[in-house]
Amino acid sequence: MPPEIVVVDYDAGNLRSVQRALEAVGQRPLVTSDPRAVERAEALVLPGVGSAQDCMRKLAARGLVEPLKAYAASRRPFLGVCVGLQLLFDGSEEGGGVECLGILPGTVRRFAADHSLKVPQIGWNAVYFKFDHPLLRDIPGGSYFYFVHSYYADPAEPEITLGYAEYGVDFTAIVARDNVLATQFHPEKSADMGLRIYANFGRIVSRDFLHADSRG
C-alpha cells in the first residue's frame, strides 16, 4: 500500500480535484486542516487558488504556517500547486506586498500590462524543462498544462527553476529544490500529462518512504 499523502485543507484550494487526481494514479490522499497531521505527514501537497494574501491569512488562522515551514525543512516530499507554489517564496507583490512562507528565496510578480495578452493567463501553455528530474518521468518537454494565474514566481536562485513557460516573458512553471517541488499550473486540470505529474510525485514519495524505512 502506498504511503499516505496529506493534502492541506485551508479553504483555498482545488481540494477535491487534487484528491481525485491522486486517487486516479493509485495514491492515498488525506485531506486535512490539522497542523498535527502536517507535522506527521510522510508526504504533503499544498494546493491553492485565489490571492496570496488571503491564502497566507487562512494558513495563519489554522496554525499551519510554522508546521509547513518545519515540514519543508524536514526533507520529506512536498508538492505545491498553483498558489501553493507562490506561497513558498519570500513574498508577493500582490495587494501591495505580502509576506509568504519564505521556504524558497524570491518574489512573486504580476504579469506586466500588455494589450496583446490577457491577465490572468487562463488556459493551456507549453512547459519546457531545464534539467531531468523524477517529477518529469515520461513527460516530453513542450507538453501542455493548464494555467490560471496573474502572478508568477521570480526565484532569487535561477537554478531552482525546473520548468518554464512563456507568457509575455519566460516565467517559472515548475520549481525543484531538494524535497520541495511545485508547479504553477494545475496538474489536476491538465489531462494525462498532469496525472503523470501526480503519479511521478507518488513514485518519489514511495522511494523516499522505502529509504526511510530501510534506515530504521
Which of the 8 DSSP states describes residue 84? Answer: H
| Rounded Cα–Cα distance for residues 72 and 101 (Å) | 10
How many structural domains comprise the chain?
1
pLDDT, one tens digit per residue, over 139-172 is 999 999 999 999 999 999 999 999 999 999 999 9
Question: Which range marks the domain in which residue 122 is found?
Answer: 4-214
Residue 43 near residue 22 (C-beta atoms within 8 A): no
The predicted pLDDT at position 160 comes to: 98
Mean pLDDT of 18-40: 97
First-to-last alpha carbon distance for the chain, in angstroms, is: 18
Rounded-to-integer distance, Cα 13 and Cα 94, Å? 18
As beta bridge partners, residue 145 has: 125
| Active site (annotated) includes residue 211 | no
By DSSP bridging, strand 121-129 and strand 143-149 are antiparallel
- Amino acid in the structure at residue 177: R
Helix (H) or strand (E) holding 94: none
pTM: 0.94
**For residue 135, is pLDDT > 90?**
yes
Lowest mean pLDDT among 5-14, 37-46, 194-203: 5-14
Helix H or strand E encompassing 68? helix 65-73
Q: What is the DSSP string of 162-216?
A: EEEEEESEEEEEEEEETTEEEESS-GGGSHHHHHHHHHHHHHHHHHHHHHHHHT-
Catalytic residue among 42, 55, 82, 94: 82
Known catalytic membership, residue 100: no
Options 55, 94, 149, 188, the catalytic residue: 188
Q: What is the CATH number of the domain that holds 114?
A: 3.40.50.880
188 counts as catalytic: yes
Helix (H) or strand (E) holding 116: none
Among 42, 94, 149, 186, the one annotated catalytic: 186
**Rounded Cα distance, 183 and 133, in Å:** 13
Contact indicator for 7, 28 with CB cutoff of 8 Å: no
